[in-house]
Structure 1
């Protein structure tokens, strides 16, 4: 899988309009898994928008989405895996629904609501809208999990910059 790291000539290897899966380590123990989120990159100067949910003290899930600058310097970020593209000028039309996803029920086809199943449910919605071109979201989940495991040590040790890669499960243009 092509791996991109920032260089002095390109301090931000994220593609304008790129849609990324973000994986964050939860613990030094890799068995604790990852926190999953989505990110839509606008451009290097404006950053982008992070789509995210968090468990609110065990009493339920809350939407924690917000504009984000310098996303690649995020604490505990394993890395960013590019899965699609949405023109930043169309984000209000093509992506606005994500923050309205019901947080009281598990997304189909999952039996439980977690940050992972919410993110993958949103990916399925992006596939249905043609923003992400991925024939098998389950295969993408496996790819992202393997990729995250490979990046865990670097995130744990605070290496910068964090890696960016293109998914092999998605068609990128």
Structure 2
């Protein structure tokens, strides 16, 4: 059994990464991960700063829990079968305009795309949480709680479920 077997198929996870050592409270790099299956892994979605701007850096990964400086994964949604392509499209919505949006950061991008997942489509909402501010506080608290372990490179990295799932 691989460690990735602990991830839920079609689970959408927040990924937090350390930016400093020792950790500075609430200072994370943010990403998303959509887990497809234990054998092939899933897709990592994030943006990164390149020069004076931002670029989308999305792609498949089969070893998400081995990512450098990863704090852990916090599940925020469960994607129904056959909705994976819709979610992928929503998570790529801002890719071509990242540098046109003021005050862009990886955290800002996360909440822009999560707001899209809150919208009802055909009677269904992917992200059930209605309060993104409360979700952000939950994510930050979880990240701060697990940051020292990540800084010490303790394995395995935690995989948890948000109380807003």
The TM-score range, normalised by the shorter chain, is 0.7 to 0.9
Deviating runs (4+, > 6 A) in structure 1? none
Match status 1:43 vs 2:37:
yes
Size of the aligned set, in residue pairs, is 158
TM-score when normalising by structure 2: 0.88
User: Structure 2 unaligned runs (5+)?
Assistant: none
**Contact 2:74–2:160 under 8 Å retained in 1:** yes
Q: Secondary structure at the match of 1:31?
A: coil
Match of 1:115 among 106, 109, 112: 106
**Contact 1:22–1:81 under 8 Å retained in 2:** yes
Give the superposed CA RMSD. 1.8
Q: Secondary structure at the match of 2:44?
A: strand
Match status 1:95 vs 2:88:
yes
User: Structure 1 unaligned runs (5+)?
Assistant: 1-7
1:63 matched residue in structure 2: 56
Distance 1:85 1:98, change over 3 A: same
* In structure 2, C-alpha distance between the alignment counterparts of 1:94 and 1:150, rounded to whole Å: 29
1:3 matched residue in structure 2: none
* In structure 1, C-alpha distance between the alignment counterparts of 2:59 and 2:135, rounded to whole Å: 25
Question: What's the offset of the Cα at 1:11?
Answer: 5.3
* In structure 2, C-alpha distance between the alignment counterparts of 1:16 and 1:41, rounded to whole Å: 6
Q: Secondary structure at the match of 1:103?
A: helix
Distance 1:44 1:28, change over 3 A: same
Match of 1:84 among 67, 73, 77: 77
